[in-house]
Amino acid sequence: MKLALALMLLPVAAAAQDCTALADDVAFCPSGTGWAEATTGPLEDGLRVELDQVALTYQVLPPEGDGAAPTAGQLRAPLNDMAEQLIGTDASDFVPLIEDRPAVEGATAVRFAFRTGVNDRLQAVALTFVGTAAHTVIVMTHADGEYIDEPHALLHDDALRALEGL
């Protein structure tokens, strides 16, 4: 499975306003969240959003399997695969921080947060897969640092709240 997300440091263009479509029926709607004043920029198969020192990336994957909503176990395997890609071959700076199942209305979600030292920079990464029968949305936030601090954690939760149409 080719995943277009990576720890990219691309410039972003427009200020986030109203809603931005991520798929036919899913949108990023930052109003009323910590992302309301963020800047956005398109990615192949996704959206990049930045606010202060935290970057957010969304990617929507098509459904797989029998058309049923995925279970947490079914989401965990691709989540772990993607985390391994982001960690890279040098796991010396890898530190797992949390694995949980955040509440996302109308969907199943699995989150894994970790620290990695890719590109000689310590990065704290929160990666959540949100699955419905129609698609899986990948939500990734990352920032320089050893740990996910409170502002980063709140912004990751707000990124989940900003998803509409699940």
Which pLDDT score is estimated for 159?
Answer: 96
1 domain-assigned: no
4 domain-assigned: no
Which pLDDT score is estimated for 47?
Answer: 93
What predicted TM-score, i.e. pTM, was given to this entire model? Answer: 0.82
Report whether pLDDT(125) > 50: yes
Q: What is the mean pLDDT of the chain?
A: 82
62 domain-assigned: yes
Domain ranges, residue 54 = 15-164
Which pLDDT score is estimated for 91?
Answer: 62
- When divided into structural domains, the chain yields a total of 1
Which pLDDT score is estimated for 89?
Answer: 61
Q: Which residue has the higher pLDDT, 123 or 80?
A: 123
Q: For 36-47, what is the mean pLDDT? A: 89
89 domain-assigned: yes
Q: Where are the alpha helices (DSSP H) in 11-102?
A: 72-87
Indicate the pLDDT class of residue 37, thresholds 50, 70 and 90.
Answer: very high
Give the C-alpha separation, 120 to 42, whole Å. Answer: 26
138: helix, strand or coil: strand
61 domain-assigned: yes
Which CATH number fits the domain that encloses residue 20? 3.40.1000.10
Which pLDDT score is estimated for 90?
Answer: 63
Give the C-alpha separation, 83 to 87, whole Å. Answer: 6
Indicate the pLDDT class of residue 17, thresholds 50, 70 and 90.
Answer: very low
Give the C-alpha separation, 126 to 142, whole Å. Answer: 6
| Residue 13: Cβ-neighbour burial (10 angstroms; 0-12, 13-18, 19+) | exposed
